[in-house]
Chains A and B, each alone.
Chain A
């Protein structure tokens, strides 16, 4: 393929990524970018060119070892539910933007430690980036028509321009916000797309090789079996290899947590902690798919390609050999995607680390303190951008100088070994409170020195091809100091050898130092916050103990410089509201210090944030014991506050209930007064009538007929009086449960009929129809006289409230699980909404009766309620019923 055409394709592809990133950046908060699949795919930057090309190369000459690189993450992912959850939670709470921030914050915003972690990462990752560039350059050369290729030095090398374009891409989309802990949607969207492309194209070439070039996997196996070293390639090997294998698994296990780019996508770019739910099973699946065809491509390459080609590029050479240029181009683009995503995220993560942990805290901070917010934001962004360009340029020159001597696989592993030096302080720091900053620094330093001695020096020496006696014979000629076989262990690979010794000494130093000397109060405070994160998460700003003097104004001025006045004001308003602090408060407390530190951490890193705040406050050292006591206190206060809050909620609820009860009582009281008035009135009426009549009867001239009429009146009024008094007594008795009920099994049908007979006469007078649908033969357990009383009452009420000649009253019986429900419906004017709650209260009479004069004594329904309740039933008015009133009561069914 013409290499200019290839360049056009590459540029078009990059332009497309620019466009995609730009578009995704605009999709604020959309599901498209913020979903678990994008998260999983972004984790797949783990698969770099090393996976894409290096795995096949490794499988073709060293057999199984490539697989260990993926088994580590597969083992690690289930543990994420505990470990990564914790890391993400802590990082989100503290606005952590890189692994260097994370480690330095854990050890009390330790500035040198942050710088050390950053340097470690640079040491490991820059060569790694170089190797990616090397892969691009070499695959470019393979795919491009080599005859048209003219070497014109650095500026004629297309790889240089590709590197520059990538740098522009990262610089543009990676520094949109000064707060480095904020997600970069645009970049993540392109990463996700690239992860899909590289997997799909890799699977495509796998299928092509297995099913087109060969006749399936079995065919390939049978052909490959006869190759000379097949036995070695397809089996595990001896026990000694078992150690190399295990160390590689451990290396990759650490790498999935600690590689700056992995930390960046897994932690900093995590939009939602619940994305872990998908990632834990889906990411291993992605890795599995990526590995299925590796051995077959390797075998196929061994079978079909000459022995002198670079094994790493079998995936390209196999289709090219068959003249499938398009397929080769696809493979190239897949590998290119893997390279870009790796470089993009790595430089992004490294540039943040370099700016926040080295450049700003060690030099730029003074300038920032004097600048205004606009200038500062600009300077911070410029620092990061320059860092991005520097990183890529340095990586490019490293590639230019060393690329010929190193394979993808080995440099990848070297990077892993270097990054693994962070493991003791990272993991132990996460679960062990005692770890101190000094110990972390010592451990990492020792570990790095050992890696340099055992791994880097021999590589560099080999690369410079100057024979060195100490590599061959050991330092000062001591055999046991031979870098690659330290202490005489001669069966380990150089990487395993370096890993074993560096990590052993690193861990021992870390643990030893931590046990020998305690950390200062600040370290211990952060240790508490990290290790027992679940306890302190709720405490938030209260989780940090600080004693000293600081003024809100000074802090405000400081925040203004970095966040701008608007954001500062907003943040402080939220803060004040959250803790109920007065705006006029002059002195800052530890919560404000901690809050401000967090705000600044996202922008300039935790170490610089600490320095800045120290510059505007006078911190008083406190003892470790004091810190722990205060923390404990804060926890308790928090718990107490919660308790208090709950109690006061309870109290106010109780007060409300009391108020309601009081109102009810008042209402009852009022009702009682009204009732007594009514009773008095009702009693007085027949008495007046009797008294008047008896006075009139004194008149001896009265005609006999009239006299009889008056006597009859007296008799009726007396009956009325007696009935009234009986009702009052009845209710009293029912209410105080003094009446014995005569409960028997009875037919509800016959009881209802009896009740209807009782009101038949009044119904006829009012011209009302009483309709009763007899139901099945239902037996209830009740006192028939009492239930008759209820029914009669309900029926007479119904009659009373229906219009003359138009009344229709219906009795409906329904069978329920344990009860019989009896409903009395009428087509009268219904029960007004406001009366529903009261109609069953004694003394209550509807204000809406059409006469001011109460009809009846006001006991009817109250008595009904008492009777029904004594039968363990309930009575209510159906609010849903629109055509009139429907009163329903239930009675127990006979067993």
Chain B
């Protein structure tokens, strides 16, 4: 099985985006007193982006890793 370089790069970009997103200054944007279902804003942000990253990686791999 193989994956084209172009599609591999999508995953690399995903990794880089996650690194930027989860560090200052971006991460502090979501630092507030807001809560949803008992999750503080910061955790909502981290967990949702985490989940989103999983879904994106899954979609990319499913589609292009063949």
User: Are A and B in direct contact (Cβ within 8 Å)?
Assistant: yes
Contacts of B12 in A (CB 8 A): 78-79, 81-82
- In the complex, what's the smallest C-beta–C-beta distance from B36 to chain A, in angstroms? 9
A contacts with B: majority SS = helix
Contacts of B19 in A (CB 8 A): 75, 249
- In the complex, what's the smallest C-beta–C-beta distance from B30 to chain A, in angstroms? 8
A277 with B35, Cβ < 8 A, contacts A74-B53, A78-B53, A288-B50 known? no
| Beyond known contacts A78-B53, A236-B28, A245-B24: 7 more, CB 8 A cutoff | A64-B42, A76-B15, A81-B8, A81-B61, A239-B24, A274-B65, A296-B38
Q: Are A292 and B47 in contact (CB under 8 A)?
A: yes
Which residues in window 271-321 of A have CB below 8 A to B?
274, 277, 280-281, 284-285, 288, 291-292, 295-296
Q: Are B3 and A81 in contact (CB under 8 A)?
A: yes
Q: Are A71 and B28 in contact (CB under 8 A)?
A: no
Q: Are A242 and B54 in contact (CB under 8 A)?
A: no
A246 to B28, CA, bound (A): 12
- 16 A-B residue pairs with CB within 8 Å: A74-B50, A75-B19, A78-B53, A79-B15, A81-B12, A82-B8, A221-B39, A242-B24, A245-B27, A246-B23, A277-B65, A280-B61, A281-B54, A284-B53, A288-B50, A296-B38
Listed stretches A212-220, A633-641, A731-739, A754-762; interface member: A212-220
Return the chain A residue nearest B9 by Cβ.
A82
Q: Does A47 contact B (CB under 8 A)?
A: no
Q: Are B24 and A246 in contact (CB under 8 A)?
A: yes
Q: Does A77 contact B (CB under 8 A)?
A: yes
Return the chain A residue nearest B40 by Cβ.
A234
A147 to B46, CA, bound (A): 44
Which residues in window 74-119 of A have CB below 8 A to B?
74-79, 81-82
Q: Are A288 and B54 in contact (CB under 8 A)?
A: yes
A281 to B63, CA, bound (A): 13
A296 to B47, CA, bound (A): 14
Picked from B30, B43, B55, B57, the residue with its CB within 8 Å of the CB of A77 is B57
Contacts of A285 in B (CB 8 A): 54
Q: Mark A107-141, 1 if CB is under 8 A from B, else 0.
A: 00000000000000000000000000000000000
Return the chain B residue nearest A218 by Cβ.
B38
Contacts of B14 in A (CB 8 A): 78
Return the chain B residue nearest A79 by Cβ.
B15
Q: Are A78 and B57 in contact (CB under 8 A)?
A: yes
Q: Are A75 and B38 in contact (CB under 8 A)?
A: no
Q: Are B23 and A242 in contact (CB under 8 A)?
A: yes
- In the complex, what's the smallest C-beta–C-beta distance from A274 to chain B, in angstroms? 5
Which residues in window 311-357 of A have CB below 8 A to B?
none
A218 to B44, CA, bound (A): 13
Contacts of B42 in A (CB 8 A): 64, 234-236
Return the chain A residue nearest B22 by Cβ.
A71
Return the chain B residue nearest A273 by Cβ.
B1
Q: Are A277 and B15 in contact (CB under 8 A)?
A: no
Q: Mark B1-26, 1 if CB is under 8 A from A, else 0.
A: 10100001001101100110011100
B contacts with A: majority SS = helix
Q: Are A245 and B23 in contact (CB under 8 A)?
A: yes
Return the chain A residue nearest B59 by Cβ.
A281
Q: Does A67 contact B (CB under 8 A)?
A: yes
Contacts of B54 in A (CB 8 A): 281, 284-285, 288
A453 to B1, CA, bound (A): 48
Q: Are B37 and A218 in contact (CB under 8 A)?
A: yes
Q: Are B50 and A284 in contact (CB under 8 A)?
A: yes
Contacts of B51 in A (CB 8 A): 288
Contacts of B24 in A (CB 8 A): 239, 242-243, 245-246
A235 with B40, Cβ < 8 A, contacts A71-B22, A74-B18, A78-B53 known? yes
**Interface size counted on chain B using CB atoms at 8 A:** 37
- In the complex, what's the smallest C-beta–C-beta distance from A256 to chain B, in angstroms? 12
- In the complex, what's the smallest C-beta–C-beta distance from A219 to chain B, in angstroms? 7
- In the complex, what's the smallest C-beta–C-beta distance from A829 to chain B, in angstroms? 53
A648 to B34, CA, bound (A): 73
**Interface size counted on chain A using CB atoms at 8 A:** 39
A242 to B12, CA, bound (A): 23
- In the complex, what's the smallest C-beta–C-beta distance from A221 to chain B, in angstroms? 4
Contacts of A82 in B (CB 8 A): 8, 11-12
- In the complex, what's the smallest C-beta–C-beta distance from A499 to chain B, in angstroms? 15
Complex A-B, nearest 4 residue pairs according to Cβ-Cβ distance, in ascending order: A217-B38, A242-B24, A221-B38, A234-B40
Contacts of A221 in B (CB 8 A): 35, 38-40
Q: Which one of A79, A222, A243, A291 has the highest number of Cβ atoms from chain B below 10 Å of its Cβ?
A: A79
Contacts of A239 in B (CB 8 A): 24, 28
A281 to B64, CA, bound (A): 14
Contacts of B39 in A (CB 8 A): 217, 221, 295
A234 to B46, CA, bound (A): 12
Q: Are A280 and B38 in contact (CB under 8 A)?
A: no
A806 to B10, CA, bound (A): 74
- In the complex, what's the smallest C-beta–C-beta distance from B7 to chain A, in angstroms? 8
Contacts of A245 in B (CB 8 A): 23-24, 27
A234 to B45, CA, bound (A): 12
Return the chain A residue nearest B28 by Cβ.
A236
A697 to B45, CA, bound (A): 119
- In the complex, what's the smallest C-beta–C-beta distance from A533 to chain B, in angstroms? 14
Q: Are B15 and A78 in contact (CB under 8 A)?
A: yes
A77 to B57, CA, bound (A): 9
Q: Are B11 and A78 in contact (CB under 8 A)?
A: yes
A221 to B41, CA, bound (A): 12
Return the chain B residue nearest A219 by Cβ.
B38
- In the complex, what's the smallest C-beta–C-beta distance from B6 to chain A, in angstroms? 12
Contacts of B1 in A (CB 8 A): 274, 277
Return the chain A residue nearest B51 by Cβ.
A288
Q: Which one of A76, A81, A274 has the highest number of Cβ atoms from chain B below 10 Å of its Cβ?
A: A81
Which residues in window 191-214 of A have CB below 8 A to B?
none
Contacts of A217 in B (CB 8 A): 37-39
Q: Which one of A78, A222, A234 has the highest number of Cβ atoms from chain B below 10 Å of its Cβ?
A: A78
Picked from B22, B33, B47, the residue with its CB within 8 Å of the CB of A75 is B22
Return the chain A residue nearest B19 by Cβ.
A75
- In the complex, what's the smallest C-beta–C-beta distance from A273 to chain B, in angstroms? 8
A216 to B32, CA, bound (A): 22
A216 with B38, Cβ < 8 A, contacts A284-B53, A288-B50 known? yes
Which residues in window 386-414 of A have CB below 8 A to B?
none
- In the complex, what's the smallest C-beta–C-beta distance from B27 to chain A, in angstroms? 6
Contacts of B3 in A (CB 8 A): 81
A245 to B23, CA, bound (A): 8
Contacts of B28 in A (CB 8 A): 236, 239, 242
Picked from B31, B37, B46, B65, the residue with its CB within 8 Å of the CB of A67 is B46
Q: Are A280 and B46 in contact (CB under 8 A)?
A: no
A779 to B51, CA, bound (A): 65
Contacts of B37 in A (CB 8 A): 216-218
Q: Are B40 and A75 in contact (CB under 8 A)?
A: no
Return the chain A residue nearest B8 by Cβ.
A81
Contacts of B61 in A (CB 8 A): 81, 277, 280-281
- In the complex, what's the smallest C-beta–C-beta distance from B12 to chain A, in angstroms? 6
Q: Are B18 and A295 in contact (CB under 8 A)?
A: no
Contacts of B47 in A (CB 8 A): 288, 291-292
- In the complex, what's the smallest C-beta–C-beta distance from A65 to chain B, in angstroms? 12
Contacts of B50 in A (CB 8 A): 71, 74, 284, 288
A75 to B23, CA, bound (A): 12
- In the complex, what's the smallest C-beta–C-beta distance from A292 to chain B, in angstroms? 7
Return the chain A residue nearest B20 by Cβ.
A75
